[in-house]
Amino acid sequence: MRLFQPLLLSLALLSPAAFAEPYQVELILFQQSGDAVFASRPAPDDWAKGAQPPGPDSSRPTAMDAQVAKLKQNEGFQVLMHKAWRQEIDANPVKISLSEGAQRDGHFPVEGTVTLSQQRFVNTQTDFWINQFGQDGLLAASQHMVQEASLKNSVLTYLDHPSLGMLIKVTPLNARPASAPPPGMEDEAPTGPDTPQQPAPAAPADGGFEAPPQSQPEQQ
């Protein structure tokens, strides 16, 4: 039996959890122009389904401020939530709860969960409630957005809804820089003092994001 113990230990270290990678996860949830589309029922009391928010040490500086500014420039769009945090992601799904605003009647104005897992891409499911409260402070109505997507590393992804929208991006924090090519394999290019220098491309004035067009998918 002792002969098999090192083998069993090696197999345990090769489990999916052993290959968890750190990512920066960032999302922007916003209200689109036009009338709000409400769900058939308000948000349930167990909207988080046991999920916990990111730890205080997981907070990260936001990197999509240009997209937020672009949204605010478009009349009728309202940014409801903008958060960024560090998250370990592997093959085992992890569910994170997020909220915004002061809690009333057991609910936040914006509340929901993000589920993440690592396969070929990072798979995500978002489940958010945008709540409205009556004069008595009780929850009166909710918009509900549920979407699934496969996220490519460092690629901004847009998730749609009849009256809401979300921008989400996952960025590896341990990405290795590209290594230099072997000697003799560099791209051939003219060099010398007489070689004209090409100007660097200018950064897009709009932050690289155009406000999404309104669409009418089926209501969640």
Query: Side chain identity at 187, as an amino acid letter?
Result: D
Looking at residue 192, its pLDDT comes to: 47
- Asked if residue 85 lies in contact with residue 59, where contact means CB atoms within 8 angstroms, the answer is yes
Say if CB 151 and CB 119 are below 8 A apart.
no
pLDDT for 156:
97
Kindly state the tokens that stand for 136.
């008595």
pLDDT tens-digit profile of 189-206?
444 445 454 444 444 445
Sequence-separated (6 or more) residues with CB below 8 Å from residue 210: 70
Tens-place pLDDT, residues 136-157: 999 999 999 999 999 999 999 9
Cα dihedral across residues 159, 142, 211, 72: positive or negative? negative
**Count of CB atoms within 10 A of residue 155's CB?**
11
Percent of the chain with pLDDT over 70: 70
Question: What pLDDT was estimated at residue 130?
Answer: 98
The pLDDT-based confidence of 76 (bands split at 50, 70, 90) is confident
DSSP string, 152-214: PTT--EEEE-SSEEEEEEEEESSPPPPPPPPTT-SPP---STTSPPPPPPPPPTTTT-PPPPP
List the one residue out of 153, 161, 167 whose CA is nearest residue 129: 161
Q: Which of 19-28, 85-94, 157-166, 199-208 has the lowest mean pLDDT?
A: 199-208
